Structure 1
Amino acid sequence: MQAVKTKQRAIAEAESELIRLVRQTESVSRVELARQLSLAPSTVGLYVDRLVSEGFLQEGRKVASSAGRPPTILELNPEAGHFIGVDFEASQIAITSVDFSQQVLQQEVVRILASDSAAQVVKKIETGIEAIKNGSQLLGIGIGVPGVVDHQLGEAVHYEHITGWQHIPLVEHFSQQFDVPVYIENNIRAMALAEQWFGSARGVSDFVCLGIRSGIGAGVVIDGRLHTGQNGLAGEIGNWPCERLEDDSRELVPLERIASVWAILDQLAARMAAGEKTALSLKRNRVVLEDMLAAAEKQEPLVLDVLQSAASAVGRVIAQISLLLNPEKIIVAGPLAKLTDAFLEPIRQVVYPLSNTKHARAPRIVASEFGMHGGALGAAALAVHQWKPLR
């Protein structure tokens, strides 16, 4: 019996690798699959026939051939099932569903209230997944989790911005709730996966995705692989010590206290409360993010000054990351990424002089194209690429 199970697992692994190869290219034949998998064409033919009969693959167009019968191209069947990706942080949950060919089907956003407990946030994720499920079979769920995750236990370990968020068994809970495989990853790493598989990092083997939201984190990809570190803490750069000038004295504070979205809004509110002039207005003693973004686009001086300070801190950290890892590209994700002149360009002005050493070039610094759904898309892709047919 054990030998049978071992053989079934090996077949499932081979077939999932075959499907991954089909995903990676727009045109692939059985012969090419056999070559890339180093398997006999007859073995690949058996796998393909079974996957076609089960509805996961479909035979598409024929391509021109110099001799003999033209090969038939294999394609993913988008109706074979769907996957759901979830990404959340302190203020909202983003949920995305994709079909078997990784095309987006539906996207939703659910607000998180400051008063929501961990149990209430889990319930909102549950409700959001139910709302976005469609008629085809649900095959897997990926969840991008803020803060620290324990992959072995399937737990979200800690996140300071949600009350009671300690050792939450997300994999166990959602796999029992929806009866599908569930995978978790730090949400900034999920953003990096989205960039690697769908975005501006396709074909880039060394890059860093820098997520700036309620906190700050980095998804680090080295030699095409996501780097998690010994204890899964790689990329937790929100705690990177940065120098800040405060009342003519210098102090070291975590990067998040200078350049996270919440830190920027707090700094604006404090300076406005101190009487500095601006067209912005406080609402319940807070600056609303959307108002700040609009003011930055209009080049509001106070907003530009606060953003410049944050961008300088981020730029110095990126320069150090660049000297350490020598990435080809830095991708900035989060609501500030859309502020090219007010935020990205000041970052570049700090990074390029510090990183252009005698024998190296600074990385390209670009904005993510995915907006608020980048992490959810990456989480869905995590489930897609981990999926295996049942054998």
Structure 2
Amino acid sequence: MRTTRMYGLSHIDNAQRNRQVLLSLVWEQGEISRKKLAVLSGLSIATTKRIVEDLLYEKIVIETGSHKSKRGRRTQLLSLNPEFGFFLGVNLHQNAIALTAISLAGKPIYEEISPHNGKEKDDVIENIKLTIRRALDTIQHETVSPLLGIGVGVPGLIDTRQGLVLFCPGLPGWESVYLAAELQKEFSTDILIDDNSRCMALAERLYGQGKELNNFLFVCIDEGVGGGIFIDGKLYRGKHGIAGELGHILIKENGPRCRCGSIGCLEALVSKQAILNSARVLIASDAFSSLKKVIDINGDLTLEAIYQEAKAGDKLSNIIINTAGEYLGVALADFVNIFDPGVVILGGEVVTAFQEFMYEEVVRTTKLKSMNPIFSRTVIKRSNFSNDSGSLGAAAMIIGHYLGDNILNI
């Protein structure tokens, strides 16, 4: 008679999982007692105390104070040790590099944005290294805490398992670049690479509008268009780790050519450069738009200028914003129908610049084009991040790797 062997967690795997569960709870709570840790984790008091003693010995966790229990006894509180070490998050843009450092407790301790010319791959990589070196010099001048890991967000197709940039349309020569291995030649620490839109989704999950949400869709409208999909508390990556390329669905037959090579992609219609290119064409044929004067005075056009003129009542500026919002709404209707995310979070430079004008058109069109039983149960929000959240998300990615991905599922 055949018997089926039951495969489960080994003793070592189970111990590691329990440790990660407790660390994620300390992360979430900020300060927490041993008793509450046991209650929230479902572990026994004895197991909880044993793991906590190990964490205290390793100095990952420290005792930070006490509070009175219901019986009047003083109970020691635990928190993550901010001096244990720090993590760096890097977000690569077409013309800039953003960096954020966070402590083990998840608090930002350093931020920087520096330009790069984006012309030569090797020069850009050297600029990334230079930015990291500068951050390390500054941080380690003020603390003895060690670097525990580096996360890097890159705008393109990423093989996260190999730290490999497969394709990065906004940066010339960025095809089949083993970026993690290249950085590890100089920085001997754990290094993770991912698409920067997914990094931004991680930032939303831990620090922003996605906090405490297990299901949501994040859409970034920036230099490109991408996103991150959280399903049951987990960031969905797909079989090959490259899910979330939301910008490359067909929106307009015979539309403009996209950087990916296709025609009529969402990215070719609503990305920052796509909007500015379209706006310049429209301005050239509209002698009465106040945007023509803006270009005459400033010599160029910005998203912020379009928003300000729309706010002042310029008809063409409103058309530009509403058209972009309509295209995005058509795409969101498909995403909402397919994923039923419950919450959609919009972020990126374009969404930030166009504020409520674009948001209102996106909501209107999404409602019009999606199935009402699904849309009626969906909330569309704007991200609260005004600065670069990709670097914060990249740092969160590496701290999740260090503490265990439980921190994303709290």
When normalised by structure 1's length, the TM-score is 0.88
Q: Which amino acid aligns with 2:362?
A: I
2:83 aligned with 1:74 = no
Question: Which residue number in structure 2 is paired with residue 266 of structure 1?
Answer: 277
Residue of structure 1 in register with 2:401 after alignment: 386
- Aligned residue in 1 for 2:57: 53
CA 1:269–1:209: 2 relative to 1, 3 Å: same
The amino acid that maps onto 2:357 is A
1:101 aligns with 2:105: yes
Q: Secondary structure at the match of 2:381?
A: strand
Query: Residue by residue, what CA displacement relative to the aligned partner does 1:321-361 show, whole Å, maximum 9, x if unpaired?
Result: 11111112111111122323321111111112333624651
CA distance in 1, matches of 2:265, 2:284: 24
Shift of 1:283: 9.2
The answer as to whether partners of 1:144 and 1:375 remain within 8 angstroms in 2 is yes
Is residue 2:266 matched to residue 1:255? Answer: yes
Match of 1:331 in 2: 345
* Structure 1 equivalent of residue 362 of structure 2: 347
1:281 has 2:290 as partner: no
Query: Which stretch of the first structure deviates more once superposed, 134-143 or 355-364?
Result: 355-364
Counterpart Cα distance in 2 of 1:161 and 1:288: 19
Any residues of structure 2 matched to 1:42-191 within 5 Å, and which? 42-67=46-71, 69-114=73-118, 116-133=119-136, 134-135=139-140, 136-191=145-200
User: Contact between 2:336 and 2:374, CA under 8 Å: does it hold in 1?
Assistant: no
Q: Which residue of 2 aligns with 1:24?
A: 28
Q: Which residue of 2 aligns with 1:203?
A: 212
Instruction: Please say if residues 159 and 242 of structure 2, whose CA atoms lie closer than 8 Å, have aligned partners that are also in contact.
Output: no
Change (3 A) 1:10 1:362: closer
8 Å Cα contact 1:208/1:220 also seen in 2: yes
Instruction: Tell whether the 8 Å contact from 2:271 to 2:350 is kept in structure 1 after alignment.
Output: no
Are the counterparts in 2 of residues 85 and 377 from structure 1 also a CA contact under 8 Å?
yes
The alignment covers a number of residue pairs equal to 379
Contact kept, 8 Å, 1:355 with 1:362, in 2: the verdict is no
Letter in 2 for 1:273: A
Deviates more, 1:376-385 or 1:54-63: 54-63
| Counterpart code for 2:269 | I
TM score, norm. by length of structure 2: 0.84
CA distance in 2, matches of 1:66, 1:122: 56
Structure 2 counterpart of 1:326, which letter? D
Change (3 A) 1:359 1:102: closer
Query: Structure 1: 5+ residue runs without aligned partners?
Result: 1-5
The DSSP-based 3-state class of the residue aligned with 1:383 is helix
The letter of the residue matching 1:378 is G
3-state secondary structure, aligned to 2:89: strand
Please give the alpha-carbon distance, in whole angstroms, between the structure 2 residues aligned to 1:191 and 1:67. 44
Query: Which amino acid is 2:294 matched to?
Result: L
1:291: how far off? 3.6
Q: Residue type of the partner of 1:56?
A: I
Task: State the Cα deviation string for residues 244-275 of structure 1 (Å, max 9, x = none).
Answer: 687xxxx9611111111110011112223345
**In the alignment, residue 280 of structure 1 is paired with which amino acid?**
V
Q: Unaligned 5+ residue runs, structure 2?
A: 1-9, 256-261, 405-410
Partners of 1:20 and 1:385 within 8 A in 2 = no
Segments of 4+ moved more than 6 angstroms: 6-10, 282-285
Instruction: Report the counterpart of residue 3 of structure 1 in structure 2.
Output: none
Q: CA deviation at 1:7?
A: 7.6
Worse-superposed segment, 270-279 or 165-174: 270-279
* Contact 2:336/2:375 (<8 A) preserved: no
Q: Secondary structure at the match of 1:61?
A: strand
Is the CA contact 2:337–2:371 (under 8 Å) kept in the aligned structure 1? no
* Alignment RMSD: 2.7
CA distance in 2, matches of 1:360, 1:238: 21
Counterparts of 2:298 and 2:187, CA distance in 1: 40
From the superposition, tell whether residues 354 and 13 of structure 1 become closer, same or farther in structure 2 (CA, over 3 Å): same
Quick one: distance in 2 between partners of 1:9 and 1:184?
25
Identity %: 26
